[in-house]
Amino acid sequence: MKATVKINQLTYKKNLKTILADVSLDVSGDKIIGILGENGAGKTTLFRIISGVAKNYRGDVAINGKTSPADRKSLVSYSQSLGGFPENKRISQVANFHEQIYPDFDRDKYNQMIDFLSLDVTQRLAALSKGTKEKVIVALTLARKTSVYLLDEPFGGIDSMSRKKIINSIIQWKPTDSLMLISDHYVSEIASILDEIVVLKDHTVAIHKRADDVRQESGKSIEDYYESLYEEGAQK
Amino acid sequence: MNFDDKVPIYYQIKTVIYDRIIAGELAPGEKLPAVRQLAVSLTVNVNTVQRALREMIEEGVVTSQRGRGNFVTTDTNVIETLRQDLITRNLKQLYERLHRLNIDDQEIINELVTYIERRARQNESNGKN
Amino acid sequence: MTNMTRLIPTFLKERFKAVNRLIMLMLTAIVATAVVQLFTNGVSNWETSLTGDVSFWSGIAFFVIFIRLASFNEHIYVNDAFRLIPISDTKLYLSSYSASALAFLYYGVISAVLHGLVAFVTKGQLQVNFHIESSFFWSSAPVAVPMIIVFFFLGLLLVWMTISLIHLIMVSIAAFLPVGRQRLIRGVLYVVVSVVIIRVVMGLFQLYSQFVMTSGLQLNGTSVLLAFLSVIIVLILESAANVLLMKRFVETAL
């Protein structure tokens, strides 16, 4: 079945501030889509709404046509920050918890990724570096077999070796028929794996294009193109 | 590998594979690596590899055998054409650039011969060391 | 989808772990106090002091475990690790409460066994206590004891669910407050909401007792059953409110 994420006229406010305004987005197929935008552009909020943990929004959100939060949670694997686990928990304990609560958790696949990323599962969460933590998060997120994957800034503040490993894991273990959304505010590191880009700006979707079309039409790299959007805005 | 992010990635993948075929690194009839394996080794999306493959199949350089994978064509004429195109394209670029600088045809030929001889000598002395 | 039969054991595991840790702490405290008393007071009267120690420390453990399990419940509402579980909010809520209730029941059993054990060791004392009203005690015990336990448990759930209700209302309101001065406004609101909720729950029971008075019911089987029902109705109302708040407003913390 073809994976789809359909968002229609989504508006979300929190603490009297508008975070997302009238966002409509329709993505489908076995693609990797970059959700780009500055810090505070609403990328995380968008993911939280899609995955069903953010509430009280206006508009419609459907995954494979399903709208109920419980259905969405079963169709989406979202890279949560692991903040809900006590710092003294070991990686293996967190993985066991995931295995128990997610019927679609694939232990074999998880083990392969742990090997590939050379993670020591006896390490406690408190002892993890930023890069290692991101690797754990990516392994746990991809270990579920779902239609849609949401990776929220998986490269934030990590070294280039970890970044390469994570990118390779994504290419290798993203299920063929699944749809993946990756958010980032620094695009050059993932530009080569993106099928489409969505730029969030001024609380809404400013651009939604195929990555190769951007290159072909503008003759610019994705990063230059993305930056030019912000420069235009500044000139106004 | 590193891509030039200004050029569509699928196009660059095609170029990389065509170069390998022309250089003989990929022999006629040889099986190409699996799509995912190619994607991982090039650090690109599986779909992008597929798009590149689709175009190579349309251009007749690669043949797809259902369930078995993708193979370099055994039709050496196709590869020869590919090779000729590449040579022509590079020469054309060189010629046009020099021509724009008002360097006449005879001089271009002379310079090219001199350059090739010099490179040959350099390679020879490098080989001795 | 995750089902409850899978979720409850997962929740139970961590709660059991926490309860066991506290039980171990309680036992250590009992033994330590008993040893200290043995040295300071000698062996005379050791039965009374042991019984006292056990009652004191198990009472403390009761409160600590009660609060610890409440914090497990509250943790679930605002945490991605739990709120992302593919299950409806109703089932998540019920699973969490089932696990907490079972963990508490487990402590109850351990505590009862401990008291029984102490009573057995110091049996002279216990017999004296029972002797006084033995005839009445033994005649009504088969009905009264389970009844008291059930009421006790319902009371426990009532306090837990009221805590949840206050917490969930606060989280819901907080999302609509302006960003600055959150702490002050929240502090005031916590007090206000708590007072209001406790008043409402008390009011419901007052209404009920008035109803009992006016209908002239005595303390008999029917009135006990009605009291029982009234608590259950409040529990259901609170749960419905809690689940509704979870569904509509309560988000996980970032």
The per-residue pLDDT for range A39-75, each reduced to its tens digit, is: 889 999 999 999 999 999 999 999 999 999 999 999 9
Interchain pair B46, A164: CB under 8 A: no
What is the structure's pLDDT at A110?
A: 97
Q: Which of C2, C178, C249 faces A56 most closely, judged by CB atoms?
A: C249
**Phi, psi angle pair for C115, to nearest 5°:** -65, -40
Give the Cβ contact number of residue A213 at 10 Å.
12
Please state, rounded to an integer, the average pLDDT across all residues of chain A.
Answer: 92
Question: Closest approach of chain A CAs to the CA of C13, in angstroms?
Answer: 10
Polymer length of chain B: 129
In chain B, residues with a C-beta closer than 8 Å to the C-beta of A195 are: 45, 47-48
Say yes or no: C131 contacts chain A, CB-CB below 8 A.
no
**Cβ atoms A227, A44 nearer than 8 A:** no
- The mean per-residue pLDDT over the stretch C236-254 comes to 93
Q: Which of A164, A167, A188 faces B5 most closely, judged by CB atoms?
A: A188
Class of domain B9-74: mainly alpha
CA distances, C58 to each of B121, C55, C161 (Å)? 94, 5, 23
Q: Quick one: pLDDT band at residue C141, thresholds 50, 70, 90?
A: low
- Distance between CA atoms of A121 and C126, rounded to whole angstroms? 53
DSSP state of A202: T
Domain boundaries, chain C: 1-132, 142-254
DSSP state of A191: G
Q: In what order do the strands lie in the sheet with A58-63?
A: A17-28, A4-14, A58-63
Q: Which of A31, A32, A191 faces B5 most closely, judged by CB atoms?
A: A191
Rounded to a whole number of angstroms, the CA Rg of chain B reads 19
- The mean per-residue pLDDT over the stretch A200-227 comes to 91
What is the structure's pLDDT at C128?
A: 44
- Distance between CA atoms of C165 and C74, rounded to whole angstroms? 10
3-class secondary-structure state, position B70:
strand
Type of residue at A32? I
- Distance between CA atoms of C99 and A161, rounded to whole angstroms? 43
CA angle A190, A196, A200 (to 5 degrees): 85
Domain architecture of chain A: domains with CATH? 4-235 (3.40.50.300)
Query: Has residue A162 got a pLDDT over 50?
Result: yes
- Distance between CA atoms of C179 and A156, rounded to whole angstroms? 25
Name the maximum alpha-carbon separation found in chain B.
56
Query: Has residue C123 got a pLDDT over 80?
Result: no
Higher pLDDT: B6 or B84? It is B84
Which run of H or of E encompasses A37? none
In chain B, residues with a C-beta closer than 8 Å to the C-beta of A221 are: 4-6
Q: What are the tens digits of pLDDT across the range C69-99?
A: 999 999 999 999 999 999 999 999 999 999 9
Residue A133, Cα to own-chain centre: how many angstroms?
15
Give the Cβ contact number of residue C17 at 10 Å.
11
Residue A196, Cα to own-chain centre: how many angstroms?
14
- The mean per-residue pLDDT over the stretch A18-30 comes to 95
Query: Has residue C222 got a pLDDT over 90?
Result: no
Q: What are the tens digits of pLDDT across the range C187-211?
A: 888 899 889 988 888 887 777 777 7
3-class secondary-structure state, position A98:
helix
Closest to A34 (Cα-Cα) out of A221, A189, A197, A191: A197
Span of A72-76, A217-221, B90-94, C201-205 with lowest mean pLDDT: C201-205
Angle between helices C4-41 and A91-101 (to 10 degrees): 130
Q: Quick one: pLDDT band at residue C131, thresholds 50, 70, 90?
A: very low
